Structure 1
Amino acid sequence: MPDTTTNLPLRQRPIDIFFAVMFTIFIVTSCIADLLPTIGIDFSQPNGTFLVDSNYWYAHDADPLFMHPPVWMRIVTGLSAFVYLAFYLVLVPALLRGWNWIQLPAVIYATAISVITGVIVFGVEFFGEPEFQTQNPVKFLAFNLPYVLIPLLLLVRMRKPQPFTRRF
Structure 2
Amino acid sequence: MTATTAPVNLPLRRRPIDIVFAVFFTLFIVTSCIADMLPTLGIDFTQPNGSFLVDSNYWYAHDADPLFMNPPVWMRIVTGLSAFVYMLFYVVLVPALLRGWNWIQLPAVIYATMIASITGIIVFGVEFFGEPEFQTQNPAKFLAFNLPYVLVPLLLLIRMRKPLPFTRAF
TM-score w.r.t. the length of structure 1 is 0.99
Alignment of 1:34-73 (within 5 A): 34-73=36-75
- The equivalent of 1:157 in structure 2 is 159
* TM-aligned CA distance change 1:9 to 1:131, over 3 Å: same
RMSD: 0.8
1:154 maps to a residue whose letter is L
CA distance in 2, matches of 1:145, 1:161: 27
Deviation at 1:4, TM superposition (A): 1.6
Match of 1:123 in 2: 125
* Aligned equivalent of 1:81: 83
Alignment partner of 1:146 is 2:157: no
Give deviations 1:29-77, integer Å, cap 9, x for gaps: 0000000000000000000000000000000000000000000000000
Equivalent-residue separation in structure 2 for 1:2 and 1:31 (angstroms): 44
Measure the CA separation in 1 of the matches of 2:118 and 2:96. 24
Residue 106, structure 1, aligned to residue 108, structure 2: yes
Gap regions ≥5 residues in structure 1: none
Moved over 6 A (4+): none
User: What whole-Å deviation, never above 9, does each CA across 1:3-52 have from its counterpart, x for those lacking one?
Assistant: 52000000100000000000000000000000000000000000000000
**Equivalent residue pairs, number:** 168
Percent identical among aligned pairs is 84
Structure 2 stretches of 5 or more lacking a match?
none
